[in-house]
Amino acid sequence: MNIENIEAFVYVIHFNSFNKAADALFLSQPSVTARIQSLERELDAKLFDREGKQFSLTEQGKQFLPFAQQIMQSYKKGKQHLHQRKTADVRELRIGCTVTAANYLLPGVLPQLKQAYPELHVKLITASTDAIIQHLENRELDIGLVRGTTHPLMDSNLFYEDRIRLFVEPGHPFAKQQEVTMEEAALEPFIFFECGSLDWMKIHRLFDSLERPPVIAYEIDNMETAKKLIASGLGIGFLPELSVRSEVEAGKLVPVAIRSLGILTLRTCVLTRKGESVELARQLLDIGRGSSLSKQSIHV
């Protein structure tokens, strides 16, 4: 059954006029008449008695009217619901992210997302990876930005891979060397930023292979504190490259190459509920992959 024919029928009754119904529907009067006639054929029932320009509902028309009105109400509510969901998807994005992602990734990405979606409202929650997964399961978040992880109820896609480097303050002897060995580094006091991820465990294992373990002067769970302690000369430390970019550019920290260290990275992934495609999540991934964040690197 054609919804437009039912709409014409309801409009004619509402305005008590074929001409006014035609104006409201932006149609000609003959088009409205044609739709009513088509509806009568579909129903195999006569809906109006016509006498010249006058008309009245038949008994069958009176019986069908409440059903027609209900159909139109349901159709409009359904259309409105879809429109609201579409609008909500575009205008609001609830992101949960780790502290590192909140401080160093999102400030470079959200302006680009805002440019693509000018009406976008972002709600940001900073929490641990486990807490973010819980919020996603409870549908309190749309997207999670967390360190590389897997979960049976989540789809995980790599968003950004940040290289982990050794950094020292400018006056440190290492700052003038092209590279140092792990053995030489182990002789220095360490500011160890501990974030509990597999990437940092790899660094621990590298030191485990040495005859003399390093002296860990400070174990820090706050990135900003770790940077300031290294910059003040209290020790050396491994940090994600992106987090110290401004300090390196300002000459407060210097990256140091370590022979045979290889490439260590801190992986940040986008989590969404499994099987649920979030348009803004795809947009965020596209921005992350093409972002200037990933095109710049700190050179030793």
The pLDDT assigned to 83 comes to: 53
**Confidence bin at 200 (pLDDT 50/70/90):** low
Residue 131: pLDDT over 50: yes
Task: Indicate the SS3 state at residue 195.
Answer: coil
The pLDDT assigned to 90 comes to: 52
Domain boundaries, the chain: 3-89, 90-159+270-290, 161-266
* Domain 90-159+270-290 of CATH type 3.20.20.70: no
The pLDDT assigned to 75 comes to: 82
Per cent of the chain over pLDDT 90 is 30
Give the mean pLDDT of the chain: 83
The pLDDT assigned to 65 comes to: 92
The pLDDT assigned to 39 comes to: 92
The pLDDT assigned to 260 comes to: 67
Nearest to 161 by CA among 9, 34, 297, 35: 297
Question: Given this chain, do its domains 90-159+270-290 and 161-266 carry the same CATH topology?
Answer: yes
Q: Is 219 exposed, middle or buried (0-12, 13-18, 19+ CB in 10 A)?
A: exposed
Task: Give residue-wise pLDDT tens across range 4-48.
Answer: 999 999 999 988 899 888 888 888 999 999 999 999 999 999 999
The pLDDT assigned to 80 comes to: 62
22-36, 85-99, 148-162, range with the lowest pLDDT:
85-99
State the pairing for strand pair 264-273/143-147: antiparallel
- Measured torsion, CA atoms of residues 212, 218, 221, 225, in degrees rounded to the nearest 10: -130
* Domain 161-266 fold: D-Maltodextrin-Binding Protein; domain 2 (3.40.190)
The pLDDT assigned to 276 comes to: 72
Report d(CA 266, CA 160) in Å as an integer.
8
Task: Give residue-wise pLDDT tens across range 216-237.
Answer: 888 888 889 999 999 999 999 9
Residue 100: pLDDT over 90: no
Q: How many residues belong to the chain?
A: 300
Report d(CA 33, CA 17) in Å as an integer.
11
Task: Give residue-wise pLDDT tens across range 254-287.
Answer: 999 987 667 778 888 888 888 776 666 777 777 7
* CATH code linked to domain 3-89: 1.10.10.10
Report d(CA 38, CA 47) in Å as an integer.
11
- Quick one: average pLDDT of 98-109? 86
> Rg of the chain's alpha carbons, rounded to an integer?
32
**Confidence bin at 170 (pLDDT 50/70/90):** very high
Greatest CA span in the chain, whole angstroms?
Answer: 107
Report d(CA 180, CA 124) in Å as an integer.
41
